[in-house]
Chains A and B, each alone.
Chain A
Amino acid sequence: MQLTVLLIVLALLTVIGYQMGRSRAVASVGGRIVELHSVPSYHGFYVALWAGLPALLLFAFWGASEGWLVMQMVLSGLPDRLVNGDAQSLGLLRADILNLAHGVATGREPDPEVVAAAERYLRLHALGDWSLLVIGCCIAIAGLIYARGRIDPDLRARNRVERTVNIALVICSLVAILTTIGIVLSLLFEAIRFFAVVNPLEFLFGTHWSPQMAMRADQVGSSGSFGAIPLFAGTLLITGIAMAVAVPVGLMAAIFMSEYASPGLRTWLKPILEVLAGIPTVVYGFFAALTMAPFVRDVGNSLGLSVSSESALAAGFVMGVMIIPFVSSLSDDVINAVPQSLRDGSYGLGATKSETIRLVVLPAALPGIVAAIMLAVSRAIGETMIVTMAAGLTANLTANPLDAVTTVTTQIATLLVGDQEFDSPKTLSAFGLGLVLFVVTLTLNMVALRVVQKYREKYD
């Protein structure tokens, strides 16, 4: 509430600042704008920036640190018996306070101290918001007055405004880097915690996956086992099936569209592939689970085969269909990048169209096509919804496409859906899997992008 008010006040102050700066600049030279160093609007922007920016930075800083700060203050006020636990019980305490403060039922009778802490949390929160509102407004007004006082015909307003904008642009372009760093750090951090419990070698090369942790330490199978080989094998199986569908169909479709189809036909075919590419993956998942899987099972049963109702074949086939447009549009690009002169030379020697394509165009486009296939593989490995909805959950180490297998992404999704403790190896194992997934897809992408870039330069 207070935050919304602050944002509205800030917006108003910047508009007022702009008008003030502008009119004061014009007034300072008595209307002879030529005598100003910068045009009046830059003076306006100068004042507006001073009014809005410092308060906005404070706002952003507060928004990022408020929860943590308030929680620290609340925790420091609690008696030692509650606070002096290990990291896990402290996390639980925090969650309790937050749940109570937000009126979510915790399911157990709360400690009166914790209830008091929750109230304190709410009070401090409100206090913080109010003080932010007051301080923010003060800073904005102070900035406005300061900047207005500096308006002068000789003020280099344009240079200052432009420098600020430039810095803002640089910061925006750094967000992408920050995202990557965030991904790497969060995956690494949680994965290291996981590997502190589970041996990395056992994780990467173990053949038994059952992440269920027992409630008590003395229960049978209490440790859970985290051998991820069945997941990798399942992922490879489904990816392999998907590629067996997507690569021939996608490649042939691209060849047909770029070499054979008339322009009229192309305008019909291109949108079909674009629609196929635009359908959300959850829709493919639904199709795989409710139409494709029963169909595959019925066909298999009528042939006398035993087919699981969550067969890898159904999920892989639908994933292949999803990837067809991806393969075809990337291959289309590389095929079109092959210079016409190569084709003309081949036709001149008397080759037919298909011979030209098979013996000249495709070899010339091969690096690009390989890169496209690598990108498609990385896409298939990382695809989540189809396999979560249509593939199984049990980790089978099998190469039979009619059996149910599970994949890395399915496991990540199922391990983390629902309320789980953030510290159990079961949850952390999802980050271990995520790290493997990230490294594999990143490597595939990097190599593929390299190949594409190298190849593009060859004919330019």
Chain B
Amino acid sequence: MSVAVTKSRYQSEEFSARLRRRYAAERRFRIAGMVAVGIASLMLVVLLGSIVSKGYTAFWQAQIRLEVTLDKQQVEERNYTAIVRQALYAQVPAATDRATRRSLNDLLSSGAPYELEAMVNANPSLVGTTQTVWVRADDEIDQFMKGFIRRDVPESERRLNDVKIAAIDALVANGSIRSTFNTTLFTAGDSREPEQAGILGAVVGSALTLVVTMLLSVPIGIAAAVYLEEFAPKNRWTDLIEVNINNLAAVPSIIFGLLGLAVFLGFFGLPRSAPLVGGLVMALMTLPVIIIASRVALKAVPPSIREAALGVGASPLQTVTHHVLPLALPGILTGTIIGMARALGETAPLLMIGMVAFIVDIPGGLTDSATAIPVQIYMWADSPERAFTERTSAAILILLAFLILMNGLAVFLRKKFERRW
């Protein structure tokens, strides 16, 4: 083999072709990686985009202005429906015959008379006067105003008939319809009528559930982590506990729901649909997460801290409570918040223990029937009305806002207290 031959081999056609191929493969591989990351990012954008675009309109709600005459006799008979209807007919003078008026009745939310009743009960001196009030419009009027029900569709395929659309046009013409911020969404419980449905009941239910979860899983989780990391002897028994915790972390959440159903509801006879049971199940579910995160945080505290404390005569427990735990606390807190965020978004176990009921009232205690935000999303997603689709997306946005808040807090804590040894 002479040098010249070798050299020519490196400069040969085949060699440079091979090199081009290899570089092309390199480029392709790199592009494949970029495409993969791109797909993931694209899906995130599409997911969030579709939810925001479907949901942002739910924060507005159409209202109709009425000049209600609070006739004394009608108020005493609690005939608010008649009061509201008379006021509405007065707004649309063109509607004179019975059939038209009947279809006008559907323009208002079925909750409008109750709104009025609540107003009168709060201020009885209004009786006998004429008041200008804005009441919620029916969800279909709302959807029409937002442009989701189109007037160029043939009448038979439209949710609103021509009579109603004419009435709406009349209301729009005299400025009796407006779009306001949808406060009901934040202040009401669930309802069959989209315009009266709100997320507050579910938010309170979620909060109660999370409180139970936190009160149970945080102390137990930290205690278990401290024991396993600081005190436990290394033997088969503690190995078993460790394997066990790792496995529990990967058990499907619905299995925890079955456990809750069989043990807490079936065996202990706790009430169905209660945040107490939901919290118990969630606590068992988040426990492994908290234990694992706390152990990582405890492990990160250098042994020199422990040795120094033991060296000046602290007992093992004092070493842990006075020195190791405070140093590990930011890490533990971060793990805890992330575990709580996961519990907040969890749905399946709550379905099993009956937190999926239709509940109008806002729960007042741990044993009241309640639902949670993700379950509310699940239930609204099943409703056929277009207005509920919009509210489902809005509920998702609210849930995501809570999650971003919690995760943001966790990131902030990590950044602020992170310590490199």
Please give, as numbers and ranges, the residues of chain A lying within 8 Å of B25 by CB-CB distance: 352, 354-355
The answer to whether A272 and B259 touch across the interface, beta carbons within 8 angstroms, is no
The answer to whether A417 and B351 touch across the interface, beta carbons within 8 angstroms, is yes
Question: A434 contacts the other chain (Cβ, under 8 Å)?
Answer: yes
| Residues A173 and B224 in contact in the complex (CB < 8 Å), given A279-B400, A412-B258 | yes
Question: B147 contacts the other chain (Cβ, under 8 Å)?
Answer: no
Choice from B247, B261, B381 contacting A290 with Cβ under 8 Å: B381
Nearest CB in chain B: distance from A229 CB, A: 20
Question: B64 contacts the other chain (Cβ, under 8 Å)?
Answer: no
The answer to whether B29 and A358 touch across the interface, beta carbons within 8 angstroms, is yes
Which chain B residues in 1-58 approach chain A with CB under 8 Å? 22-23, 25-26, 28-30, 32-37, 39-41, 43-44, 46-47, 50-51, 54
Please give, as numbers and ranges, the residues of chain A lying within 8 Å of B403 by CB-CB distance: 278-280
**Bound form: Cα–Cα A353–B22 in Å:** 10
The answer to whether A282 and B262 touch across the interface, beta carbons within 8 angstroms, is no
The answer to whether B255 and A382 touch across the interface, beta carbons within 8 angstroms, is yes
Question: A422 contacts the other chain (Cβ, under 8 Å)?
Answer: yes
Question: A378 contacts the other chain (Cβ, under 8 Å)?
Answer: yes
Question: A108 contacts the other chain (Cβ, under 8 Å)?
Answer: no
Choice from A180, A278, A283, A378 contacting B244 with Cβ under 8 Å: A180
**Bound form: Cα–Cα A204–B47 in Å:** 37
Please give, as numbers and ranges, the residues of chain B lying within 8 Å of A168 by CB-CB distance: 223
**Bound form: Cα–Cα A422–B263 in Å:** 13
**Bound form: Cα–Cα A260–B29 in Å:** 10
**Bound form: Cα–Cα A449–B251 in Å:** 13
Q: Per-residue CB proximity of B56-94 to A under 8 Å, as 1/0?
A: 000000000000000000000000000000000000000
**Bound form: Cα–Cα A375–B378 in Å:** 26
| Residues A275 and B227 in contact in the complex (CB < 8 Å), given A175-B220, A177-B240 | no
The answer to whether B392 and A269 touch across the interface, beta carbons within 8 angstroms, is no
Which chain B residues in 169-227 approach chain A with CB under 8 Å? 219-221, 223-224, 226-227
Question: A32 contacts the other chain (Cβ, under 8 Å)?
Answer: no
| Residues A352 and B23 in contact in the complex (CB < 8 Å), given A281-B347, A287-B51 | yes
Question: A257 contacts the other chain (Cβ, under 8 Å)?
Answer: yes
**Bound form: Cα–Cα A123–B187 in Å:** 37
The answer to whether A186 and B263 touch across the interface, beta carbons within 8 angstroms, is yes
The answer to whether B223 and A169 touch across the interface, beta carbons within 8 angstroms, is yes
Query: Chain A residue with minimal CB distance to B389?
Result: A290
The answer to whether A287 and B50 touch across the interface, beta carbons within 8 angstroms, is yes
Please give, as numbers and ranges, the residues of chain B lying within 8 Å of A18 by CB-CB distance: none
Query: Chain B residue with minimal CB distance to A38?
Result: B315
Q: Most chain-B CB neighbours within 10 Å: which of A162, A273, A286, A409?
A: A286
Please give, as numbers and ranges, the residues of chain A lying within 8 Å of B345 by CB-CB distance: 278-283
Nearest CB in chain B: distance from A293 CB, A: 12
Show 11 A/B contacts (Cβ-Cβ < 8 Å), sorted by A: A158-B315, A252-B35, A272-B44, A279-B403, A286-B51, A324-B40, A352-B22, A352-B26, A382-B251, A431-B258, A434-B258
Task: Give the 5 A-B CB pairs with smallest separation, nearest first.
Answer: A382-B252, A280-B345, A256-B33, A252-B36, A186-B262
Which residues of A pack against B, CB within 8 Å?
64, 67-68, 71, 98, 102, 158, 162, 165-166, 168-170, 172-177, 179-180, 182-183, 186-187, 189-190, 248-253, 255-257, 259-261, 269, 272-273, 275-276, 278-287, 289-291, 321, 324-325, 328, 352-355, 357-358, 375, 378-379, 381-385, 388-389, 409, 412-413, 416-419, 422, 430-431, 434, 437-438, 441-442, 445-446, 449
